[in-house]
Structure 1
Amino acid sequence: LIHLTPFIDEFGVIRVGGRLQQSNLLYQHKHPVILPNKHNITDLIIQGEHKHQWHAGVEQTLAALRKILDTESESGVKSVLRRCVVCRKENARCLNQIMAPLPKNRLVETHAFDNVRIDFAGLLYVKEGRTISKIYICLFTCMATRAIHLEPTSDMTAQNFLAAFRRFISRRGKPSVVHSDNFRTFKLADKYIQDLGPWCGGYWERLVKSVKTALRKVLAKAQVSREELVTILCEIEAPINVRPLTTISDDSSDF
């Protein structure tokens, strides 16, 4: 403490000396009190100032304390604030949900597109002469290999979906199991996800996001013809189907 030129005031309190005796500052600002770290009195003063600052964070509480105390102990302030019941309630983190075991269809080795999930993505617009038409994308994804197959459709009716499904079967083979959400077009699917449980389709929604991201970066606001869109969808399939299936980077923006 020698560098602080301490002295004991008339009440027996150890204070900082310094060279500010002739300034117009308040006495407690010119000569802050020196208190030991990890002491009950120090902790009580920190708690009181923390409440006075309306349960502010470490930096604000520490700045307020420096007006009355000589303290540089950020770790001491953090230790006291971690024990604040009000702050612990407000800053508490939710527990991570324990994930259920993966379904058998996602683990059994089989040929690609033997167990598929289906979903629609869109809406997109294409040029047909002088008119602008709507286009949706029917996404088929393999539950085991996570490969995708994209088929454009004019709308999301059952008739156009069945046409897309026939094209899919002709190219990829007939699947053993078809899963879908509860959309009205898919009422004849083998299995559905549970009602009011959209998270059950998270892994194919993630692939929908990958397709939409690629389309947004490639097309932006450009208007293309239906033939050009079909070509672009085929070109998007290729890099997605050769993406790495295991984690390579810890940065989520790299996926």
Structure 2
Amino acid sequence: MTKQKALVLFLITLRQIPCTVNFIICFPLLQSDHEITRDLIFRCHLRQLHAGVAQTLATLRQRYSIPQGRSCVRHVIRSCFQCRWATARPLQPKMAEDWTTPTPAFAHMGMDFAGPPFARVTKKTTTPRFVCLITSVHLELVPEMSTVDVMQALRRFMARRDRPATIQTGNFRSF
């Protein structure tokens, strides 16, 4: 048995003695990079039902003193398989081809309607928003939200910009 292991085991067994002697015997100093310390941290982590760094460290500090304790506890908790499995993030899906291939503005666009801003005191209007899925926004004012007015706004948009390849909207059934 090496000196380091013997010292750590000696300090751990000293904990059984009532704490009237001094602070060092009451809170034994454990090496942060030692194998037994890591095992002790992991067991405390399991006893606390896979608690986080702060709670595990607070529980350990009631009995032991570990230099660089927070980083040591964080390292041990990150190696816990169950905690890694429980906090795993889902894989990122591949981005749509429309978003990744270089295209001119408004080649792929979305269309939605903003609420009725007041154009005058007595008259309400709606604002269809033509949104490029990459960069830009185009706004038109429409007096009503009828099919004819929306189609005219779409024609004005296409006269100013080019005809889009795809139009996505949340109101498919509206027009």
TM-score interval, normalised by the smaller of the two chains = 0.5 to 0.7
**Alpha-carbon contact 1:118-1:179 (below 8 Å) kept:** yes
**In structure 2, what is the Cα distance between the partners aligned to 1:50 and 1:132?**
66
> 1:152-202: per-residue Cα shift (whole Å, max 9, x none)?
1234331111222343345x166264523361244xxxxxxxxxxxxxxxx
Q: What's the offset of the Cα at 1:151?
A: 0.9
TM-score (norm 1): 0.50
**Alpha-carbon contact 1:161-1:185 (below 8 Å) kept:** no
Number of aligned residues: 161
SS of the residue 1:117 aligns to:
strand
Query: Is residue 99 of structure 1 aligned with residue 95 of structure 2?
Result: yes
Unaligned runs of 5+ in 1: 1-7, 187-255
**In structure 2, what is the Cα distance between the partners aligned to 1:132 and 1:29?**
81
**In structure 1, what is the Cα distance between the partners aligned to 2:131 and 2:63?**
65
Q: What's the offset of the Cα at 1:68?
A: 1.0
**In structure 2, what is the Cα distance between the partners aligned to 1:176 and 1:37?**
62
Distance 1:159 1:57, change over 3 A: same
**In structure 2, what is the Cα distance between the partners aligned to 1:118 and 1:40?**
58
Distance 1:74 1:168, change over 3 A: closer
Query: Is residue 82 of structure 1 aligned with residue 82 of structure 2?
Result: no
**In structure 2, what is the Cα distance between the partners aligned to 1:119 and 1:97?**
24
Please identify which structure carries the higher strand content.
1
Structure 1 counterpart of 2:49, from 36, 46, 54: 54
Query: Is residue 126 of structure 1 aligned with residue 118 of structure 2?
Result: yes
> 1:195-244: per-residue Cα shift (whole Å, max 9, x none)?
xxxxxxxxxxxxxxxxxxxxxxxxxxxxxxxxxxxxxxxxxxxxxxxxxx
SS of the residue 1:156 aligns to:
coil
Aligned to 1:163: 152
Query: Is residue 180 of structure 1 aligned with residue 175 of structure 2?
Result: no
**Alpha-carbon contact 2:128-2:139 (below 8 Å) kept:** yes
Amino acid at match of 1:91: T
Amino acid at match of 1:61: T
**Alpha-carbon contact 1:120-1:136 (below 8 Å) kept:** no
**Alpha-carbon contact 1:118-1:138 (below 8 Å) kept:** no
Structure having greater relative contact order (Cα 8 Å, sep ≥ 6): 2
**In structure 2, what is the Cα distance between the partners aligned to 1:78 and 1:149?**
49
Aligned to 1:21: 20
Q: What's the offset of the Cα at 1:120?
A: 2.2
**In structure 1, what is the Cα distance between the partners aligned to 2:168 and 2:143?**
20
**In structure 2, what is the Cα distance between the partners aligned to 1:22 and 1:140?**
77
Distance 1:154 1:120, change over 3 A: farther
Amino acid at match of 2:50: H
Alignment RMSD: 3.6
**Alpha-carbon contact 2:128-2:141 (below 8 Å) kept:** yes
Q: What's the offset of the Cα at 1:52?
A: 2.5
Q: What's the offset of the Cα at 1:94?
A: 2.3
Identity percentage over the alignment?
Answer: 29
